[in-house]
Amino acid sequence: EAGVVQSPRYKIIEKKQPVAFWCNPISGHNTLYWYRQNLGQGPELLIRYENEEAVDDSQLPKDRFSAERLKGVDSTLKIQPAELGDSAVYLCASSLRDREINEQFFGPGTRLTVL
C-alpha cells in the first residue's frame, strides 16, 4: 500500500515569492492534515480536511496561507508571499475519519527554506 506522498521534498525560494506544496493521501482516507514543523519543535496543525471540507483551519495564517482539497483527495498548500519565518518542514498526514480516533499516517514532508 502506498503511503502519503508529498512533493516537492525540498524547496528553496526567496522571500516574497509564492510556493506550493502538494499532498496525495492514502487511498480511502477521508481526513487530511497539514502540519508545520519548525526546527527543534513538534508538528503543529495548520488545517484539517474531512473530505473536501476544511473543518479546522484556526491555526492557518490566512493572510498568506491558503489550502484546497478539491474532490476530497489530494491537497495543495500555498504560501504567498513567503516570509523568512516560514522556513520549516511542511507535513501532510491522512487518516480514516478523525472523529473515530484513527491513526494518522505522515508523509515525508517538504523542507522549505526561505532566503
Partner 1 sequence: AQSVSQHNHHVILSEAASLELGCNYSYGGTVNLFWYVQYPGQHLQLLLKYFSGDPLVKGIKGFEAEFIKSKFSFNLRKPSVQWSDTAEYFCAVKATDSWGKLQFGAGTQVVVTP
Q: Which residues here bind partner 1, judged by CB under 8 A?
A: 3-4, 33, 40-45, 48, 55-56, 91, 93, 98-99, 101, 103-104, 106-109
**Nearer residue to partner 1 within complex by CB, 61 or 81:** 61
- Name the minimum Å distance from CB 9 to partner 1: 11
**Nearer residue to partner 1 within complex by CB, 82 or 107:** 107
Q: Could you tell me the three cell numbers for 31?
A: 481526513
Contact indicator for 4, 92 with CB cutoff of 8 Å:
yes
Q: Could you tell me the three cell numbers for 109?
A: 514532508
From start to end of the chain, where are the E strands?
5-7, 10-13, 19-24, 31-37, 44-50, 53-56, 65-68, 75-79, 88-95, 105-106, 110-114
- Name the minimum Å distance from CB 2 to partner 1: 13
- Name the minimum Å distance from CB 77 to partner 1: 17
**Nearer residue to partner 1 within complex by CB, 13 or 89:** 89
